[in-house]
Amino acid sequence: MTEDEREQQLAEAFAGLVDQRAHHTTHPELREDLAALAEIDRVVDPAALPERLSGHKILLEVGAGGMGRVLLAVDDALGRKVAIKTLAASYAGDVMLRARFMGEARAMARISHPNIARIYSLGPADEPPHFVMEYIEGAPLTRAAVPLTFEQRAELMRKVVLGVQFLHEQGILHRDLKPANILVGTDLEPKLLDFGLALDTGTTERLSRAGEVVGTPEYLSPEQTLAAGKLDVRCDVFSLGTVLYEVLTGALPFRGDDVNELLRRIREEDPALPRRLDPAIPRDLQNICLKALEKDPAMRYASAREMADDLRLFLAHEPVLAEPGAYTRLISTKVSEHLRDLDSWRHDQIVSAEEHHGIRQRYERLLEREDAWILAARRLTLAQVSLYLGAWVLVVAAALLMVFPYPALQGAPAVMVAWAAVVPVAWIGIRTWRRGHYRVAIAYLLAFCLLTPVAALVTFEEARLFTAFTQGNLKLELFHRVGFAKQFTNAQIWWSLLAGLPVCWWLRRLTRAPVFSLMNAFTAALLCLATLLRLGVLDCLDHDPSRFYRDLLPCAALFMAAGFIFERLKMPDDSRYFYPFGVAFTFAALSGLAGYDEPWANRLKAAFPWTRGQVEYLFIFNATMYFLLDRICDRFQSWQVRMVGKSFRFAIPGHVMMPLFILSFNAETPREAHTLEWILPATACLFVFASIPRQMKNFLVSGLVFLAAGVYHVQQDIYPNRAFWPTGLLAGGLVLMIAASNYALIRATLRKLRRR
Amino acid sequence: MDSTTTFTLLEQARAGNQEALSRAFGMYRRRLAVLVHFKLNPRARRFSEVEDVVQETLLRAFRDFDRFSYESPGSFLRWLSAIADHVIIDRIRYQGRARRDGEQVPFRSASNPMGPEPVDSQTPSRLLAQHEAVERLLEQLSALPDDYRQIILMAKMEDLTTAEIAERLGKTREAVALLLHRAVKRFRALREAASA
């Protein structure tokens, strides 16, 4: 018998069995096939329904799950519809499952909550295992959500989350949250049902078998996919996140071709951003959803309550607190990919060093901004603005309290008022921070950070601490010069600033918010100035201002060094606020020296008599200094130091061309004036072309501006009313433009000529 | 399916017992839902669509129950299936118009005491959505090649014998038997793969 004939014979036998509607056969080769077919009947035909259970008349089957069926029944006496959950006959003999089933009933029976289906009674022992519960007419959550607005969906979810929170408060983990287990009635009240996997946290016994993965796999949390490990309320939070994702997008966050693939995705992959699936989804809802879907339970909402609170904030049009790490992860992976590409482009010389540096910097700034509370500062709301306004008023009031002597507020009361502002602000700030309300906390902590030195200063003043005058001289005291104010000594100012410094430092460690780095640098800068005060700098301002500016130089060096050290210590967020202060001190010191230092000017006069010691030449000398500093900074790898170099570079054109412009007015002889008048446009042209190698746009712009000024000056002074000057310039400009637009051609021609 | 039960129920319904008819509908609605699921254009195959078609089919069946005569086991479902075909064709024909105005048979209520008793508020969509096994079955059937799926639906959902299938498809009974057996073997393989 050939293979074909045999197959035909088997098929005939099989067709015979099907035609007889047989469900069983002893034929060894057809048994399995027939069973598979019979399985279809089992699925689509409701099994015979019992007539009555617990005295209720059974109408029909409304649902079936892994463990049993849900029947619709009528309570004859009350005339109400009820749902009866039964355990499948094949499981009724299993002691373990039976215990789990009745455990579910008992767990539910304890609960009375508007969003959780009620249990009416447990089936008597002489009937098949079942229990009677509230019948909910409605649709599963995801289907009910389709026609709703996002606000209505959020409201639905909030009720669901509160229901779950209530379960948790009763010591029950649901562990099988899914839309099919959440029915929504026509009144838009969701109800949780099916506690098939509910875990009573009060009893240590787990009702599922050891190592068994329970729950509908799509809605499992990462920790549930691992057999080991203790579960807590946050696994239900994750499932709520999955449900919210589906309610928002209509799609599941994690899908896989088979169960193992699915579980791997749940454990390892970030879901697609909901807004990518549907841009209409509010960003805050997306944030809530992603926060609940964090892989690490510690990153999720710590409880269903927190998630419900955030949903409430969304519904109240307040900014939500969720700041999912998914964005940062997404952006940092993308950016590091691009940075790698960029490096290879640089290597292949596709981009120039300048472009490479520029692009790299932009990417890094992007990363930083992500870290630096970009989410927090995303938008201004009434509440947020009021919060910062309040903090500012607090600081201003404290400043008034500090500066002005109020007769009614002297001695101990003044100190108490100052600290009465500081202590609650600090306490509320830290508490809010610990609770995760970061945006609010930052405002409080910022106020705390600013108020601390003020309060310390008031305390020192009232306690008569550090009252010694600088060098024993009242005239060297800052506040002595401000007659109307309280008479703080320089030492008191110095010590109070010093007291503020560790507070900034500690807050920076605690919150990792860069704004406290800025505060750190700011306080340190003030401390430097206070140190100068204590060194008697006020005296120099009277007699020799240049000394003050000379004293600023070490401060500048100090800040540069601090920035450099912090950067070496891998704290780039701290260093980047120290450099700008260093740059500012350098500018102030060098400009001040040029403007006020007489010995400096005398030395110039001695060396170059033709300069006549004019200040403008000193500014040009400063430009050279900046150029050298820029060269030095450029030798460093760090982009922060390069930024410092760039800021020095930025100042150069102004420092060169502005003095040249002024000098031409101050010339003593016409010859000197004419020389300077020609030098200015020439230098301007030089700067225009010098903008090319470093891509300095301000070289170009200031070059063009001073060129125009120089041309005008030449017209006024050297060629008054001579027509050849403007016409010559017109022709020159035109030639230059034509040459530039034919640049390639000219270059080729020149090359050819040179080769000959 | 226990044909005597269906027969008894339908006889009772003919005698005027509306609850018997409701129960008969209840017994078949899941089969009907699966059939409708595959009758519908995949793009139109949303749960709500399946639900509407089944609901409308049952309402028409209720209206026209007088015209039904019991011939053999499965003839009731075949009758329902034929009505479902008409419903689907009508829906396509009237698509885009306010199609069901005045056509609906309203359920019984205080204002309409002569209307049919609603079987329950349960809808086939919920029935499909809540019944995990049915969902799995739909998935597995969808994964089959068209001719395999068609023959399994005919044999199991519509309860046709191989001879009847052969007649409907215009093939020999031998060819149908071979096709059916191959289809079932593939179906079995799918089930085993899914449960593994």
Query: Given this model, what pLDDT does residue A229 score?
Result: 65
Q: Is the pLDDT of residue A657 over 90?
A: yes
Contact of B112 with chain A, judged by CB distance below 8 Å, is answered with: no
Domain boundary among B130, B150, B173: B130
Residue whose tokens read 């929170």: A165
Residues of A in contact with B174 (CB under 8 A): 8, 11-12
Residue A720's pLDDT is what?
A: 86
* Residue A463 clears pLDDT 70, i.e. is over it: yes
Asked if A519 contacts A453 with a C-beta cutoff of 8 angstroms, the reply is no
Final residue belonging to a domain, choices A80, A104, A134: A134
Q: Are A91 and A103 in contact (CB under 8 A)?
A: no
Please state the three-class secondary structure of chain B as a single string. CCHHHHHHHHHHHHCCCHHHHHHHHHHHHHHHHHHHHHHCCHHHCCHHHHHHHHHHHHHHHHHCHHHCCCCCCCHHHHHHHHHHHHHHHHHHHCCCCCCCCCCCCCCCECCECCCCCCCCCCCHHHHHHHCHHHHHHHHHHHHCCHHHHHHHHHHHHCCCCHHHHHHHHCCCHHHHHHHHHHHHHHHHHHHHHHHC
Scanning the structure block, which residue is given the tokens 């024993």?
Answer: A472
Of the candidate ranges A405-414, A516-525, A611-620, B44-53, the one whose mean pLDDT is the lowest: B44-53
User: Which of A89-93, A612-616, A704-708, B131-135 has the highest mean predicted lDDT (pLDDT)?
Assistant: A704-708
Q: A354 and A287: one domain?
A: no
Does A519 map to a domain? yes
Query: Which pLDDT value is given to residue B5?
Result: 65
The total number of structural domains that make up chain A:
6
B32 & B108 share domain = yes
- Judgement on whether residues B76 and B166 belong to the same structural domain of the protein: no
ipTM value? 0.74
Distance CA B66, CA A277 (A): 50
3-state secondary structure of A350: coil
Chain A interface, mutation test: which of B50, B54, B81, B121, most A Cβ atoms within 10 Å?
Answer: B121
Class of residue A693 by CB neighbours under 10 A (exposed 0-12, middle 13-18, buried 19+): exposed
Burial A717-726 (b: 16+ CB within 10 A, else e): beeeeeeeee
Residues in chain A: 756
Residues B138 and B121 in one domain: no
Of residues A337 and A449, which shows the higher confidence score?
A449
Work out the end-to-end distance of chain A between its first and last CA atoms, rounded to an integer number of angstroms.
Answer: 94
> Are residue A490 and residue A524 in the same domain, yes or no?
yes
Do A111 and A146 share a domain, yes or no?
no
- Reference A287, options A275, A298, A278; nearest CA is A275
Q: Which of A131-140, A143-152, A723-732 has the highest mean pLDDT?
A: A723-732
Same domain, B80 and B149: no
Name the residue among A7, A19, A44 with its Cβ closest to that of B31. A44
Three-state DSSP class for A86? Answer: strand
Mean pLDDT, chain A, as a whole number?
83
CB B55 within 8 A of CB B6: no
Report the gap between the CA of A262 and the closest CA in chain B (Å).
14
Q: Which of B130, B154, B180 is the last residue of a domain?
A: B130
3-state SS class at A409: strand
B31 touches chain A (CB under 8 A): yes
Tell whether A314 and A355 lie within a shared domain: no
| Structure confidence by residue, pLDDT tens digits, A150-160 | 999 999 999 99
CB contact under 8 A, A18 and B161: yes
Q: Please report residues of A whose CB lies closer than 8 A to that of B27.
A: 45-46
B107 and B181 in a single domain? The answer is no
Locate A405 and state its tokens: 């002597």
Q: According to the model, what pLDDT value does residue A195 have?
A: 62
Domain that holds residue A77: 52-134
Confidence of residue B44 (pLDDT cuts 50, 70, 90): low
pLDDT category of residue A65 using cuts at 50, 70 and 90: low
Place of tokens 């919150």: A511
B25 and B37 housed in the same domain: yes
Of A166-170, A178-182, A254-258, A567-571, the least confident: A254-258
Both A122 and A162 in one domain: the answer is no
Mutate to test the interface with B, among A43, A57, A90 (most CBs of B within 10 A): A43
pLDDT higher than threshold 80 for residue A656: yes
Q: Position of tokens 């049919």?
A: B116
The C-alpha of B18 sits at a distance from chain A's nearest C-alpha, in angstroms, of: 13
Identity (one letter) of the amino acid at A582?
G
Neighbours of A750 (CB within 10 A): 10
- Please check whether residue A275 is in contact with residue A283, taking contact to mean a CB–CB distance below 8 angstroms: yes
Residues 6+ apart with CB under 8 A from B63: B105
User: Taking residues A90-100, what's their average pLDDT?
Assistant: 72
> Does residue B159 sit in the same domain as residue B181?
yes
For the stretch A596-648, pLDDT in tens is: 888 888 888 898 888 888 889 999 999 999 999 999 998 887 878 888 999 99
pLDDT top residue among A372 and A54: A54
- Of the given ranges (A26-30, A86-90, A195-199, A265-269), which has the lowest mean pLDDT? A195-199
Same domain membership, residue B147 and residue B79: no
Q: Are A85 and A134 in contact (CB under 8 A)?
A: no
At A370, the pLDDT band (50, 70, 90 cuts) reads very low
- Confidence tier at A694 by pLDDT (50, 70, 90): confident
Residues A292 and A161 placed together within one structural domain of the fold: yes
Contact residues on chain B for A15, CB-CB shorter than 8 A: 162, 173, 176-177, 180-181
- On whether both B107 and B143 belong to a single domain, the answer is no
Query: Do residues B116 and B19 both lie within one domain?
Result: yes
Q: Is the pLDDT of residue A580 over 90?
A: yes
pLDDT at residue A146 greater than cutoff 50: yes
> How high is the pLDDT of residue A562?
93
pLDDT above 50 (res B50): yes
In the chain, the amino acid numbered B120 is: D
DSSP 3-state of A463:
coil
Q: Rounded to 5 degrees, what angle do the CA atoms A399, A402, A404 make?
A: 100
Residues A69 and A144 in one domain: no
Q: Which whole number is the average pLDDT over A468-477? A: 80
Span A295-326, pLDDT tens digits: 888 888 888 888 998 898 888 887 777 776 66
Structure token digits, residue A640: 């922060």
One-letter-per-residue 3-state SS of A95-127? HHHHHHHHHHHHHHHCCCCCCECCEEEECCCCC
In CATH, what number is assigned to the domain containing residue A89? 3.30.200.20
CA distance A30 to chain B (A): 9
More confident residue, A90 or A678: A678
State whether A351 and A416 are in the same domain. Answer: no
pLDDT confidence of residue A368:
53
CATH of the domain at A297: 1.10.510.10
- pLDDT at position A170: 81
Region A733-741: mean pLDDT is 91
Residues in CB range of A303: below 8 A, 6 or more apart: A165, A168, A233, A234, A237
CATH number of the domain encompassing residue B12: 1.10.1740.10
Residue at a domain's end among B103, B130, B157: B130
pLDDT of residue A640: 85
Do residues A142 and A124 share a domain? no
Is residue A331 pLDDT above 70, yes or no?
A: no
Sign of CA dihedral B115, B120, B122, B123: negative
Angstrom distance (rounded) from CA A611 to CA A725: 30
A167-176, A179-188, A234-243, B99-108, range with greatest mean pLDDT? A234-243
Residue type (1 letter), A144? A
In a domain, A609, yes or no: no
Residue A685 lies in a domain: no
Classify residue A437: in a domain, yes or no: yes
Tokens of A146: 């389709």
Structural domain tally of chain B? Answer: 2
Residue A157 domain flag: yes
Residue B167 to residue A11: CA distance in whole angstroms? 18
Cα separations in angstroms, A463 against A269, A459, A697, A748: 61, 6, 56, 83
**Residue A252, pLDDT above cutoff 80:** yes
Terminal Cα-to-Cα distance of chain B (whole angstroms): 29
Higher pLDDT, A24 or A495: A495
How far apart CA A189 and CA A116 sit, in angstroms, is 10
Q: Which domain holds residue B113?
A: 1-130
Give A106-118 pLDDT, tens digit per residue: 877 878 888 888 8
Q: Return the SS3 of A64.
A: strand
**Closest by Cα among A402, A417, A416, A393 to A485:** A402
CA B147/CA A283 separation, integer angstroms? 47
Q: How far apart are CA B164 and CA A305, in angstroms?
A: 61
- A486 belongs to a structural domain: yes
Coil, helix or strand at residue A182: strand
Contacts of B188 in chain A (CB under 8 A): 32-33, 36
Better-predicted residue by pLDDT, A2 or A493: A493
Smallest Cβ distance to B162: which of A8, A18, A45?
A: A18
Q: How confident is the model over B59-90, as pLDDT tens digits?
A: 888 888 878 877 776 788 888 888 888 888 88
A145 and A108 belong to one structural domain: no
Averaged pLDDT for residues B98-110: 44
Nearest 5°: the CA angle B29, B35, B37 is: 100
Residue among A160, A293, A140 at smallest CA distance from A220: A293
A130 and A142, same domain (yes or no): no
- Average pLDDT of chain B? 73
CA pair distance A121, A45, nearest whole angstrom: 28
Q: A138-140 and A119-122 as β-strands: parallel, antiparallel, unpaired? A: unpaired
Let me know whether B119 and B27 are in one domain.
Answer: yes
pLDDT of residue A208: 39
Residue A407 pLDDT > 60: yes
B97 lies in the same domain as B148: no
Instruction: Tell me the per-residue pLDDT of A182-225, one tens digit each, with 9 for 90 and over.
Output: 888 888 889 887 665 454 444 433 333 333 344 567 888 888 77
Determine the distance in angstroms separating the CA of A376 from the nearest CA of chain B, rounded to an integer: 41
- The pTM of this model reads 0.47
Most confident of A45-59, A412-426, B110-124: A412-426
Q: Which of A153, A149, A142 is nearest to A183 (CA)?
A: A142
